[in-house]
Structure 1
Amino acid sequence: MTLWDLAKYKEARISHLCDQMSGPISNRLIEMGFETNQFVKCLRRTPLSGPVVIELGDSVYSLEQSIAEQVFIEGIEN
C-alpha cells in the first residue's frame, strides 16, 4: 500500500521508500521527514488525480501521484 492509496482522514506508518526512486527525490523526502516508522495522515485528496495532502508531524505536504506512489505504508490497527 502506498501514500496514494491512503484514504482521507486515515493514518498509517511509513514502511519504506521505493528502491527505484531517484536520489534527489528520495533525499528530499527524507529531509522532510518521510522516514521508516513515521506516522502520516491523509488530510485531503484532490479530484482528477491531483495531489494528496499529507500531515507528517507538525508539517503538511502536498505530494503528486508519481511521488506518493513511491512511499510505502502500513495501516494502523485501531
Structure 2
Amino acid sequence: MTKPAAPKRRLPTSPFKAPATPAPKHFAVGDQVTHDVYGLGRVVGVEDDIAALVDFGSARMRILSPYAKMIKL
C-alpha cells in the first residue's frame, strides 16, 4: 500500500506567486443556477453556507457546500 503524496510546500523566497484560492460561493433564495448533473434550477432555500435547496423542476435537491458542480446564472 502506498502513502498519499503530501502537498508541495511553497517557499517564502519563491519568485512564483502562490496559487489563488477561489472565493466561496454564496447563493440566495430566487437565484437561478445550473448544475452539472441536474441542469437548470432555482434556489428555494439556503442553510447558512451549509447547503442550498434547489428546485430543478422534476425534483428538489439539497446541494451541499462548496457547490463544486453548481454555478449561479
Calculate the TM-score normalised by the size of structure 1: 0.48
Q: TM-score, normalised by structure 2?
A: 0.50
Larger Rg over CA atoms: 2
Higher relative contact order (CA 8 A, sep 6+): 1
